[in-house]
Amino acid sequence: MTLEILTEGERIDDRGVVEGTRARTTVSGRLGEWIELGGALRRRSGADAGSSMQIMRFSEDRSIRVLVEEVR
């Protein structure tokens, strides 16, 4: 199975200019199988300016997957 994904979007920025985005990807896999389309990983860490003892850590991992099943 081959799946083509297309997303398009527009927004108006602070100056009134229209900005457009477009992303396209093609993935292949078997019916009934989860297929990962993409994802994002975000990490942040640091120390409080007033004390070197306080450490902040943040981590977030997200993925986008699709499951395609046959309809009869």
Structure confidence by residue, pLDDT tens digits, 4-27: 988 899 989 889 999 998 888 898
Dihedral sign of CA atoms 41, 46, 48, 52 in order:
positive
72 inside domain = no
14 inside domain = yes
Task: Give the residues across from 20 on adjacent strands.
Answer: 10
42 near 25, Cβ under 8 Å?
A: no
60 inside domain = yes
How many structural domains does the chain have?
Answer: 1
51 inside domain = yes
30 inside domain = yes
Q: What pTM was estimated for this model as a whole?
A: 0.51
| Neighbour-count burial for 4-38, b at 16+ CB within 10 Å, e otherwise | eeeeeeeeeeeeeeeeeeeeeeebeeeeeeeeeee
- Identity of the residue numbered 33: E
36 inside domain = yes
pLDDT score at 61: 81
The residue segments making up the domain with residue 45 are: 2-67
Question: Which pLDDT tens digit goes with each residue over 21-44?
Answer: 888 889 899 999 999 888 877 777
pLDDT score at 30: 93
Average pLDDT over the chain, rounded to whole? 83
